[in-house]
Structure 1
């Protein structure tokens, strides 16, 4: 799967979870390797689409809110 498709899938899953999720749970749901997930999060943070949060293992949150 290319990075654009992964980005869309990531954002869709995050919206479905109400706009925020723990990294481990989201990575497992997406079924991607740690390195791929980290690169994806880094890219979306740089693009201003998500922000990192706290929590065991970290978390991510949509900047745009759950409705997009």
Structure 2
């Protein structure tokens, strides 16, 4: 549930990149072809999306203590 909540907090573009790359297993090149977005843009979206996920999850853990 925590992960789903964290994913829902991301922007659509960040969520789409994170899920496609890290859950579905697409390569950056495959996703780039599918979306018509450069690989460097997708890498940036994935990086920032993962960073936001980490922050959301760790902030939730701190409030549970």
For normalisation by structure 1, the TM-score amounts to 0.42
The structure with the greater share of residues assigned to helix is 2
The structure with the greater share of residues assigned to strand is 1
